[in-house]
Amino acid sequence: MDPADVWPDLPYAAWCETATTLQLWTQIVGKVRLMLTPWLNHGWQVPFYVTARGLGTSPIPAGNEILEIEFDFISHRLVLRNSRGDERGTPLKPQTVAVFHCQVMDLLRDIGVAVAVNELPNEMPNPIRFSQDRTHASYDAGAAHRFWRALIQIDRVFKLFRSGFLGKASPVHFFWGGFDLAVTRFSGRPAPLHPGGIPGLPDSVTREAYSHEVSSAGFWPGNEAFPQAAFYSYAYPEPPGFRERSVTQGAIYDATLGEYILPYDTVRTAANPDALLLAFMSTTYAAAAEAGKWDRASLECPLGIPARARQLRVNLAQPS
């Protein structure tokens, strides 16, 4: 396979209109999940997951049944399935957010799910209610497919990184608010109350998400304020000295964003993209853990190996 197909080029300017429209579409579906699923710590009940065909919700409670919704970036369809065997779908194609919102609500009613969502987008500038948004209507199928192909590789490396931690860690999941794939490690200690103030996100949600100390890493495809695909890593609360630590070559600390940044292009064009991305995640986590005085000996373990049980540290001393 051509390396460019494994780690495809994702120039933000070339697909920015599709990226914005797709982010709004994912928010409609994500808010359906939000309204039907009991709250889980740090908002972990709402993200999507990378699937063999695109991005999916995983099971959503729907009365006595379950519902799954998937953005299929191979057939370019939105697919709804339930545990009764019902399936509905609609093409992913150039169409307004208002039309897409109407289609999703119609499909849900047709499959027996009654739900209404807050129509105001989250974490986006100048939000327009979904049912009134006739501005965003782009869908470049090739670009959406390349974005998903990149997510496949990133998800795979993120999951390997997650395997090297014994403490509390999030799944690797895709947040439709920020339109980013992320994985988070926790020190186990409570964090000071987050000040909030994130545009388009209720302070109560932000404060619940950051109730405990974290080192978080992720990937986003870019936006108007930061128009390039990049990996990021940050700590909350940021410990003294975190931003001065030595990390992977090619990464920098962006004081405006408050996080380490590694351009996606730097990774995809590297001789060994997997190794470089893993090094970025490992060194920036180490920067947070060392500066924050985490109990690294108790929290960490070697990376997981398929079909091999983790080796335990056995204390051979017998009690006297």
Which tens digits make up the pLDDT trace of 138-191? 999 999 999 999 999 999 999 999 999 999 999 999 999 999 999 999 999 999
Look over the chain and give the mean of its residue pLDDT values, rounded to a whole number. Answer: 96
Cα distances (angstroms) measured from residue 214 to each of 27, 69, 99, 201: 25, 30, 39, 19
Task: Give the pLDDT of residue 5.
Answer: 76
Q: Residue 9 has which token pair?
A: 């080029």
pTM for this model (two decimals): 0.95
Which tens digits make up the pLDDT trace of 185-218? 999 999 999 999 998 999 999 999 999 999 999 9
Render the burial of 1-29: b for 16+ CB within 10 Å, e for the rest.
eeeeeebbebebeebbbbbbbbbbbbbbb
Residue with tokens 């998400």: 209
The conformation of residue 48, written as its DSSP 8-state character, comes to: B
Which tens digits make up the pLDDT trace of 89-147? 999 999 999 999 999 999 999 999 999 999 999 999 999 999 999 999 999 999 999 99
Peptide bond into 237 cis (omega under 30): yes
Average pLDDT on 244-253 reads 96
CB 147 within 8 A of CB 50: no
Task: Give the pLDDT of residue 1.
Answer: 56
Q: Residue 226 has which token pair?
A: 């930061």
